[in-house]
Amino acid sequence: MIETNSLTKIFKIKKGADIPAVVDLTLTVREGEVFGFLGPNGAGKTTTIRMLTSLIGPTSGTARVCGYELGLNDQDIRRSVGLLTESPGMYDRLSAAKNLAIYANLYDVEDVEGQLKKYLQMLGLWSRRDDPVGSFSKGMRQKLAICRALLHEPRLLFLDEPTSGLDPEAAKLVRSFIEDLRSQGRTIFMCTHNLNEADRLCDRIGIFRTNLIEVDTPQNLRLKLFGRKVVFHLRSVDPSWIPLVSSLEGVSDVSLIDNKLVIALENPANQNPHIIRTLVAQGADVQFVGELRRSLEEIYLQTMGENQDEVAKS
């Protein structure tokens, strides 16, 4: 659905040094997946979206979007994608329906009324269709902008901070809507600062700071950066159990935190029962066992920190 090869954007400044916004981006986004693009402010995420939607041209490199070549089939790319910008502009004096109708006509949507009703109902705005957009809250404007991005039934949807600034109820509705789109097989390229949201919604994530640093599923990144650790909650701990557990096959590390043994394992499903039997044989009261789950925030901060260290060394 998206294929880039060394895609680069450098902004030329008349007086001063050139600014590299995106450098050598090589990436594939598969059809039907939700891809999360994560990075700090100024990392080049929005610039990447602007290139992939043919709003600006790259300095170098190539890309194919929905089968069309960037720079050669720009009009086809624009017709094939939907775009939600971080700060979507609307005509405040016009009604929600008239705002959408303008864009539907630009995209040559055949059943304009039907498409307006479909998406306004899906996002809970049908009863406000005749109200001026200037009277809408930020959450309502965001939902209206999502309707606008979907009117022409795009194959690929770009979302730039889709829940930014929304109250919890509106953010939950937007997340649920994205999940519905995923279940329909839509391809979604999403930039977000909400790491819990990315963890929940995205099939894969790319961590980006001008260059692409890591790409994988959240689970694979957890394993790569932290391995698998299981927490054994005990009523009390005898320190002599630690070397005993450390000697067991498949155990790579054991640490003691309060009355909990945190054990790094290759295959918890196979090794947990043996560890439990060993501890019980030593007189341990095992209260419960759970795998330690690292948050996407920890993955992100660890990756960005390692990247900073590499940059400092170079």
Please give the mean pLDDT across all residues of the chain.
89
Q: Which amino acid, 96?
A: A
Q: Distances from the Cα of 267 to the Cαs of 15, 159, 210, in angstroms?
A: 58, 37, 36
Rg (CA), the chain: 25
> In degrees rounded to 5, what are phi and psi of residue 192?
-155, 150
Of residues 183 and 65, more confidently modeled: 65
Q: Distances from the Cα of 222 to the Cαs of 113, 225, 268, 284, 292, in angstroms?
A: 46, 5, 15, 30, 10
The percent of residues in the chain predicted with pLDDT above 90, rounded, is 56
Confidence at residue 199, expressed as pLDDT on a 0 to 100 scale: 87
Question: Which CATH architecture group holds 2-216?
Answer: 3-Layer(aba) Sandwich (3.40)
Confidence at residue 312, expressed as pLDDT on a 0 to 100 scale: 45
Confidence at residue 308, expressed as pLDDT on a 0 to 100 scale: 59
**Dist. CA 294–CA 292, nearest whole Å:** 6
Nearest to 54 by CA among 34, 75, 38: 75
Start-end of CATH 3.40.50.300 domains in the chain: 2-216
Q: pLDDT (tens digit, 9 = 90+) per residue, 147-198?
A: 999 999 998 999 998 887 788 888 888 888 889 888 888 999 999 888 888 8
- Provide mean pLDDT across the span 192-210: 88
**Dist. CA 60–CA 10, nearest whole Å:** 9
Confidence at residue 163, expressed as pLDDT on a 0 to 100 scale: 86
Residue 30 above 50 pLDDT?
A: yes
The percent of residues in the chain predicted with pLDDT above 70, rounded, is 97
Residue 227 above 80 pLDDT?
A: no
Confidence at residue 56, expressed as pLDDT on a 0 to 100 scale: 94
Q: How far apart are the first and last CA of the chain?
A: 34
Note the CATH number of domain 222-292. 3.30.70.100
Q: Distances from the Cα of 21 to the Cαs of 26, 179, 274, in angstroms?
A: 14, 30, 52
Dihedral of alpha carbons 74, 47, 103, 126, sign: positive
Q: pLDDT (tens digit, 9 = 90+) per residue, 229-266?
A: 899 999 999 988 999 999 998 888 898 988 999 988 88
> Residue 228: beta bridge partners?
265
Instruction: Identify whether the C-beta of residue 171 lies closer than 8 Å to the C-beta of residue 137.
Output: no
Q: pLDDT (tens digit, 9 = 90+) per residue, 275-310?
A: 999 999 999 999 999 888 777 878 888 887 766 555
Residue 84 above 70 pLDDT?
A: yes
**Dist. CA 279–CA 270, nearest whole Å:** 16
Confidence at residue 120, expressed as pLDDT on a 0 to 100 scale: 94
Residue 141 above 60 pLDDT?
A: yes
The CB density around residue 213, as the number of other CB atoms within 10 Å, is 18
Of 5-19, 60-74, 124-138, which gets the smallest average pLDDT? 5-19
Start-end of CATH 3.30.70.100 domains in the chain: 222-292
Of residues 161 and 313, more confidently modeled: 161
Confidence at residue 314, expressed as pLDDT on a 0 to 100 scale: 41
Confidence at residue 309, expressed as pLDDT on a 0 to 100 scale: 55
